[in-house]
Structure 1
Amino acid sequence: MKNSKYPEPTVGALVYQKGKILLIQSHKWNNLWTIPGGHIESGETIERALKRELKEETNLNLKECKLVLIQDCIFSKEFHQKKHFIFLDHICQVKSVKNIKLNHEGQKYIWIKPKEALKKLKIDSFTKRLIIKHNEKTNYSRD
């Protein structure tokens, strides 16, 4: 979607496994750590978009997901372009964590406990808000 005059709906997947979350360092977010995700294509359901984006960006297969946060991202300086996104952020589980392969959007990935991620990594503000929101509702805030 080039220079849309309307907000662009997107999905995001905070993948968790055994008390850890998956974060990806992305040049599109000025090398900040973020979550896999992207645009919902015309005619595509939210869940289908999540499955596709997760597979494209990480080679992981979605098992289940739950919508936990909707965020407005309006011309964020953290992103490499001037864009207006609507983030539909989900907490997700995958079928297997083996065979992760990042596409061109990701430079590195890490499995990390949420509290540790918040302390040690430079995370984009939207992902940070998602982690904090989810931490409030889960046991892994004690990790």
Structure 2
Amino acid sequence: MGALVWDPEGRVLLVRTTKWRGLWGVPGGKVEWGETLTAAALREFWEETGLRLRDVRYAQTQEAVLSPEFHKPAHMILVDFFARTDDPGVTPNEEIEEWAWVPLGEAAGYSLNTVTRTLVELALRQGEA
């Protein structure tokens, strides 16, 4: 579960984490027992970035089976969201090595992991802003 999030200036947040072998992606993580997908997105984003989200809406579902981009063998079902934040001040946790707020049209120029690349491409096709 992850989210592509826009700030008040219309930029999206990309992060480089320890889990994706130096590739850029979006914050996200696992759903806890008894937690809804939306609640998990809100919690994970807060834990990893210190950001509060609003206007969280479903974007897509993806499957990643033994992706060589991920730091360990895993079979993941990824539920992706689009969302917004009112405060772009990132307070990263230990998983985030680097972050950047970038215009959506420039996001594809980053070394994105495959699952994030499909999320960015979806946002571009749908004219998200």
In the alignment, the residues of structure 2 paired with residue 28 and residue 134 of structure 1 have an alpha-carbon distance, to the nearest angstrom, of: 23
Q: Letter of the aligned partner of 1:63 in structure 2? A: R
> Please, which of 81, 87, 102 is the counterpart of residue 112 of structure 1?
102
Residues 102/75 of structure 1: CA separation in 2 closer, same or farther (3 Å cut)? same
Matched, 1:91 2:88: no
Give TM-score, length-normalised by structure 1: 0.85
Normalized against structure 2, the TM-score is what? 0.94
Q: Counterpart of 1:60 in 2: which secondary structure? A: coil
Select the structure with the greater relative contact order (CA < 8 A; seq sep ≥ 6). Answer: 2
Unaligned runs of 5+ in 2: none
Equivalent residue number for residue 70 of structure 1 = 61
Given the alignment of the two structures, is residue 55 of structure 1 paired with residue 46 of structure 2, yes or no? yes
Verify the 8 A CA contact 2:14 2:26 in the aligned structure 1: yes
TM-superposed CA distance for 1:139, in Å, is 5.5
Letter in 1 for 2:121: I
- CA deviation profile, 1:109-134 (whole Å, cap 9, x unmatched): 00011221212x11101100100011
2:112 maps to which residue? Answer: 123
Distance in 2 (alpha carbons) for counterparts of 1:138 and 1:29:
27
Q: Which residue matches 2:127?
A: 138
Query: Match of 1:96, SS?
Result: coil
What's the CA shift string for 1:63-97, capped at 9, x where partnerless? 12111110001110000010011000000112322
CA distance in 1, matches of 2:47, 2:68: 25
Report the secondary structure of 2:55's partner residue: strand
Q: Tell me the equivalent position of 2:4.
A: 14
Q: Say which SS state the counterpart of residue 108 (structure 2) adopts.
A: helix
Instruction: For residue 30 of structure 1, report the CA deviation from its aligned partner.
Output: 0.4
What stretches of structure 1 move > 3 A for 4+ residues in a row?
none
3-state DSSP class of the match of 1:129?
helix
